[in-house]
Amino acid sequence: MNSSMIGKIEKARRYAEEPERAQIQHLEVQFKGEHDTYHVTYNEGSWSCDCHSFAALQAGTCSHIMAMERLLGQMVPGETAGVM
């Protein structure tokens, strides 16, 4: 492996230890829930899910979105980041 690639790998490791460097702006996820597979999206600060709970609760969240927020942590900007 050449020194250029070694330097890139080291830099990538350093970046991965600082997740606040990356912020997701758009995301589409196929989420396998207990009863079905759902389509979860994040777009410029707004979450959406096609599950029944998201539509019925009108609270702007559901268990699938909460799970994604936990998975992504600081990489999701805005008010929802870090909730829970």
Sorted by where each begins, the domain ranges of the chain are 22-84
Q: DSSP class of residue 42?
A: E
pLDDT confidence of 82, banded at 50, 70, 90?
very low
Q: Taking the model in full, what pTM does it have?
A: 0.74
Q: Are 40 and 52 in contact (CB under 8 A)?
A: no
Q: Where are the beta strands (DSSP E) in 4-72?
A: 26-32, 37-43, 46-49
DSSP3 helix / strand / coil % (the chain, rounded to 5)? 45, 20, 35
pLDDT 10s digits, 57-69: 777 899 999 999 9
Tokens at 55, concatenated = 């539509």
Beta strands 26-32; 37-43: pairing state = antiparallel
Identify the pLDDT of residue 63.
94
